Amino acid sequence: MTLDRFYPIFDSADWLERLVPLGIKLVQLRMKDVSPMVLCDHIRRAKAICAEHGCTLVINDHWRIAIDEGCTYIHLGQEDLDDADMAAIQSAGLRLGISTHDKAELARALDLRPDYIALGPIYPTILKQMKWHQQGVEKLTTWRVAIGDTPLIAIGGMNIDRAAGAFAAGADVVAAVTDITLNDSPETRVRAWLAATR
């Protein structure tokens, strides 16, 4: 399965309903600190809009609910891996993306044979407080050699101007969050991303 080169991440189905119809083909729903009932509602809405537009939906973290809701793809951070039931995830046939920041985490991730590896933050990010400082695009090249044919996703402080450098360094996909959601016109920004990555 080839992943689209543009990978926006949103914190509600509202964003997906607004922006996926513009041509997004790979998207993550990342919702923190919400009740299972609210999460299920957003996942169902996200699944519907993605099915309508031929977009691959990735659910962040909530693997149990993703299985229950018949999702096909999840993303797990390193902390999420600590309590994830990998046997259940594999038997459900879920595709898996994993976040990495250093070589120990990369080795752990590769043991699970994920469908993609994410490296970040490539640049400083305002999205969340992290113990990891910016990794820099050079580290993408190191990861590219280490992971072989596994798709590599660059995340963290990414914008359209920085995307070309990430691709040149070995990333297959660039993820974006605040570059879209904090933009004065998210629709215009998504169209620009699509033009720059297709």
Angstrom distances, CA of residue 57 to CA of 60, 75, 147: 10, 10, 23
Which class is domain 6-197?
alpha beta
SS3 72: coil
* CA–CA dist 161, 10 (Å, integer): 20
pLDDT in tens, 58-67: 999 999 999 9
pLDDT at residue 128 in the model: 58
pTM for this entry: 0.96
Backbone angles phi, psi at 172, to 5 degrees: -90, -30
pLDDT of residue 127: 62
Q: What is the pLDDT of residues 76-108, one digit of tens each?
A: 999 999 999 999 999 999 999 999 999 999 999
Q: What is the pLDDT of residue 125?
A: 76
pLDDT tens across 27-59, in order?
Answer: 999 999 999 999 999 999 999 999 999 999 999
Residue 99 token pair: 């976040």
Helix, coil or strand: residue 119: strand
